[in-house]
Structure 1
């Protein structure tokens, strides 16, 4: 069971991500988060004493969610070889269908603070290590990872994003790549 403090931190992070997603990073202020979360600014500052601390908290939470979701998908996958790579594809597919909240928050976080960017990089590297040791060619896993990153960035930046049909076809092709021999 979560403690009251854990529940409050969760509320703060969810609210901050929502503000970033709906209004952009420039509108993320501690006052805005406190107001939207219906908590006092002092209560917010108790858990996150600065905007940078809040952004780092967002980044950590996002990658914990990524790892947990990947683990759930991998656990359900009956085929051992490539299961972590397929899990990352499935997590990406889910997130892209929900406005790429994961990547928007990560990008916003990394732009603010070098320490946050480093934390994000270290967390992502943990996930990528699972792909490298997934039983498929590390090159194939890297190609898949870079394709997923490209899908995110094209959607997030509005640079020729794929329509839903093409996006699903690309994701399906990436899944197939995990089931083929070394490419």
Structure 2
């Protein structure tokens, strides 16, 4: 979707995420977001009356986008056994291999108000339960969840403890615990 076809709300959210990435979450200002989105500050405030509402929307957008990707992957696996676990692995691996940055809007929201973690907590609690309910081995599903969340945290906080190849190897090993080797995944290059 190009910037021309984005709704006002989407333009604002995109601008806010970009600015948070560039200048850091603490320095995110409504004036800067309005300028980047090509709106007046009044136009921005009509959609998001406060910075807190804008940051809350960034968190909700992140959760929603992840859930949409996860459900598409799950459906591609016909909602069979382990489909939620395998979908979670596939979505994370795709984001990671494509070198998608962690959403800076999430960090901006957390920096502004740790209470914005609540939608993520609720979603993760539900996701973990879905993974357990759908898995042939619920404990192994929990271990996959914890590994992926750990890798996400390392990336979000730019810890740099593992190379990209090591992280992808861990993700692929998780996948192999739930299904035989996938020839399509073997074609995806592992960055160094």
Deviation at 1:78, TM superposition (A): 4.8
Distance in 2, matches of 1:11 and 1:124, equals: 27
- Kept in 1: contact 2:102–2:156 (CA 8 A): no
- Kept in 2: contact 1:92–1:148 (CA 8 A): yes
- Kept in 1: contact 2:16–2:105 (CA 8 A): no
Gaps of 5+ in 1: 1-5
TM-score, normalised relative to structure 2? 0.81
Q: Secondary structure at the match of 1:133?
A: helix
Residue 73 of structure 2 is aligned to residue 73 of structure 1: yes
Q: Deviations over 1:158-180 (max 9, x none)?
A: 32342222222111111112238
Deviation at 1:15, TM superposition (A): 1.5
- Kept in 2: contact 1:110–1:120 (CA 8 A): no
Gaps of 5+ in 2: 1-5, 181-192
Q: Deviations over 1:17-57 (max 9, x none)?
A: 12222332022111111111111111111111111101110
Distance in 1, matches of 2:93 and 2:84, equals: 14
Q: 1:106 aligns to what?
A: 106
Matches within 5 A, 1:7-156: 7-78=7-78, 80-96=80-96, 97-102=98-103, 104-156=104-156
Give the number of equivalent residue pairs. 175
TM-score, normalised relative to structure 1? 0.84
Q: 1:167 aligns to what?
A: 167
Q: Deviations over 1:117-153 (max 9, x none)?
A: 2122112323222212112322211111111111122
- Kept in 2: contact 1:63–1:124 (CA 8 A): no
Seen in structure 2, the aligned counterparts of structure 1 residues 98 and 40 have a Cα distance that, compared at 3 Å, is farther
Distance in 1, matches of 2:128 and 2:41, equals: 37
Distance in 2, matches of 1:119 and 1:33, equals: 23
- Kept in 1: contact 2:132–2:138 (CA 8 A): yes
Deviation at 1:155, TM superposition (A): 2.2
